[in-house]
A and B are shown apart, each in its own frame.
Chain A
Amino acid sequence: MEPIVMVFAWTIVVIVLAFIACLFEDLESDEGSQSNPNSQVQLAPEMGYIHRYYNKAISGEGLSYALACTIAGTVAWMMLSQGITPVIAIPFGAGIGSLVHMIRATIPHLGREAAHKRFEQPIYMDVFYGHLVPIATHNFMAVVCITAIAYIQSPMGPLAAITGLQVAANNPFPLPLLCFIWGITVGAIGSSTGDIHYGTERLFQDRPFGEGRRVIYHGQICRYGDCGIRTSKDIVAFCAKYGGPATGLTFGLIVLFENWRTLIGMMAGGLTGGSWSPELASGVGIAIGLVIGVILIISNLYLVRWARKKFGPFVGE
């Protein structure tokens, strides 16, 4: 097989893994109301809204995923350096990372609900125990994908084995550091994209749609489900239909556009043979990136205008 074809093939694998990772990352953060919606769940008892949500504040999604993925990467790196096959090392490392994540998830629920003593928020033990295994399993899916991506790119991975190109196809950073960077990235994308679906849609389902949340509503979250009292597990089933896949698509598209423009630029610069020109490679890559950016901005503006016309007018317009 041509070396460049192998590079494109591994890039496609990385994109698919990124899609799955960010999908599960968003659902995992919804499982315990992490990141942005957490401020509303935290505020609710202070407004008198006693709830049965899981209060999982592990220092923001970016950092908590950096922790889980870095530990997974470190364990996988240690096992790989002892000659263990990646098929065992990567899931084992991800399992350890998810275990640590689950332990970290127990801390904030107990700590923050205990700190709500004067607002008479009890600790429901069924909520506490019932959410731990779903948190760990969703986290495992995300972390195993991220560790696999980092392994593919690392100097010990399959990209490093591709020879015959003008430059090395792999990333020079070691596996734990790549896991750290990818963990922060997947957490940041999941936090910025997916939480809107949970925070402003699901937590405020009894309010008018699409107008943003006024300060007067803060903390007054929707506490009842279709049947009975809502817990964080009901959120996941709701967000799995739209918020999670949209978040995964966002991250997948970011990885796709970024790698595609770089690879096309490098091919234009003579990656596959002949004269290798880094200036031409980076120039063409930047130009393609700018074109993609402009197309995305224009299509987003058009989409927002169309949505406002179809579903509006909103309060304050």
Chain B
Amino acid sequence: MGEEEKAEEKPKEKFTLHFPTENNLSIMGIVVGALVAILPWLPAIVKGVGAIVVILWGADCVRKTARYGLGTGVPSIGVLAMGYGLVGGITGIVIGSVPVLYGVGIVEPAVLIGVAAVGAVGYISGILANSEKFIGMKIPGLERGMAELGMAGALAVIIESSMIAGTWNASVVIPNIIENGVIATIFILSGFGMLQPFNSCLGADERRGRTLLVSVEIGGLCCIIFGVVASLMPAPSGILQGIQLIILGVIVWILFYSSYVRACLREAHAVVGTGLIKTMR
């Protein structure tokens, strides 16, 4: 759990933000996400950190998939990620809840079957989109990006369901998350965490560090809203788990929102109170 806590501490150091490189962030996302997913007894605050890391990973995947000229397609890529995520996440939750596979008690790795399956589906769809025999889009790194997007989406669904309901067991998740419609909130909030950063920051002078700050900020917002929902849920969730999440969310949101705004104002061409526009002719 050391790496992501280090990533949270960074903004205090006078805006010298160093997010891990793309490969390291992928490894970090998959390791932290898988660990938090297979240990459903963890406290909600740790799951919240895991969800933030997974959303950050997804946003970085969207950025590296979409920066080759997908301007208005950025939101579609994020929604695609969460579409894969819902399929993979619910598959994993249902397979993981089969009594034979669930019987281990402390470590429950069967949920990762859904994540792996949707990763494979994403990779195949990337090949279909890129191959000249089929669509022939020829976007560099699309296969890997699609696989990672699917896995990040699935992990986000699993971790956030487990954050709200206290566990990802299907007997709890289906009545408490899916039947009452909270799944829509999970879908759109995690989707926004992945798709909004690059969509809102794109331009000629876009910078990766600044873009990813937005993702962590939305992760904090997710924790606040899911914390409020979790505090109304029956056991094993409840008010104690909810308050942990709300505190984590408020701290992360204030820290990263303020550092994003300051980074933008510092890196813009000029910040003026008001003024006329430059005339051309």
Q: What residues of chain A have their CB less than 8 Å away from a CB belonging to chain B? A: 39, 42, 46, 48-52, 57-60, 63, 66-67, 70-71, 73-75, 77-78, 81-82, 100, 103-104, 106-108, 110-126, 173-180, 223, 229
Contact = CB atoms under 8 A, between A and B. Distances in A.
Contact of B204 (A46, A50, A74, A179): A46
10 contacts: A63-B192, A70-B189, A78-B229, A103-B221, A104-B196, A107-B196, A111-B260, A112-B201, A114-B263, A124-B274
Interface string B200-214: 111111110011001
Contact of A71 (B71, B204, B225): B225
B264 interface: yes
A108 B211 CA distance: 10
A126 B274 CA distance: 6
A52 B217 CA distance: 27
Grouping DSSP codes into helix (H, G, I), strand (E, B) and loop, the B interface class, with mixed when no group exceeds half, is: helix
A78 B205 CA distance: 42
Contacts of A77: 180-181
A180 B184 contact: yes
B202 A74 contact: no
A111 B212 CA distance: 11
Given A48-B280, A115-B207, 17 more contacts: A52-B277, A67-B189, A67-B192, A70-B188, A77-B180, A78-B229, A82-B232, A107-B196, A107-B200, A108-B200, A111-B200, A113-B264, A115-B202, A117-B205, A122-B272, A126-B273, A176-B185
Contacts of A78: 228-229, 232
Interface string B256-274: 0100110111011111111
A119 B199 contact: no
B188 A180 contact: yes
Given A78-B228, A111-B214, A117-B269, A124 B261 contact: no
Contacts of A74: 181-182, 184-185, 225, 229
Nearest to A181: B184
Contacts of B206: 111, 115
A116 B206 CA distance: 8
A111 B229 CA distance: 30
B161 to A, nearest CB: 14
Contact of A50 (B221, B228, B277): B277
Contact of A70 (B74, B185, B205): B185
A122 B268 contact: yes
Q: Which of B184, B195, B228 has the most CB of A within 10 A?
A: B184
Contacts of A104: 192, 196
A83 B119 CA distance: 43
Interface in B37-70: none
Given A113-B268, A114-B210, A118-B204, A60 B228 contact: no
